[in-house]
Amino acid sequence: MKMNVERVWSILTALSVFAFLLGDLKLISTFLVAVLLLSTFIKGQLVIDYFMGLKEVQPKYRIIPTLWLSIVLSLVAAAYYLPVEKL
């Protein structure tokens, strides 16, 4: 699906407001951290695809930042959710 940049900006803004409200209203919970990370992935991918313009380019250039985003956010999730071993 191809979106115009106005819609992309609106989604980015809405997701940023969502993240801010989670923090400001102290609503952040274990479950909502996963939702927040997912929304961060969506925001990052929108910037990669529509602002950086990689959606219209050969996939090998797009896959690098997409993989980066996936790996970093997965590791952040792992650090958050994996149980801490007691020494």
Partner 1 sequence: MPKSLSVKEPYPPGDFAIWIIVYVELVTFGFLFVGYAFSRRVHLQMFNESQLLLNTNIGFINTLLLITSSFFIVKAIQKIKTMTQYNSYESSIIASKWLLSAMIFGILFLVLKLTEFSHIFGQGITLSTNTFFMFYLLLTMFHFMHVSLGVIILFNIYQKTKRQGYSAEEYRGLDTGATYWHLVDLLWIVLFPLVYIIR
Shortest distance in whole angstroms from residue 60 CB to partner 1: 10
According to the 3-state scheme, what is the secondary structure of 1-39?
CCCCHHHHHHHHHHHHHHHHHHHHCCCCCHHHHHHHHHH
Q: How far is CA 4 from the centre of its chain?
A: 19
Give yes or no for residue 72 binding partner 1 (CB under 8 A).
yes
Which of 19, 31, 63, 86 touches partner 1 (CB under 8 A)?
19
CA 29 – CA 17 distance, rounded (Å): 17
Cβ atoms of 54 and 48 closer than 8 Å: yes
Record the tokens describing residue 47, joined without a space. 């910037």
Shortest distance in whole angstroms from residue 83 CB to partner 1: 10
Using CB under 8 A, which residues numbered 40 to 59 contact partner 1?
A: 40, 43-44, 47-48, 50-54, 56-59
Residues that bind partner 1 (CB under 8 A): 2, 5-6, 8-9, 12-13, 16-17, 19-20, 22-24, 28, 33, 36-37, 40, 43-44, 47-48, 50-54, 56-59, 61, 64-65, 68-69, 71-73, 75-76, 79-80, 82, 84
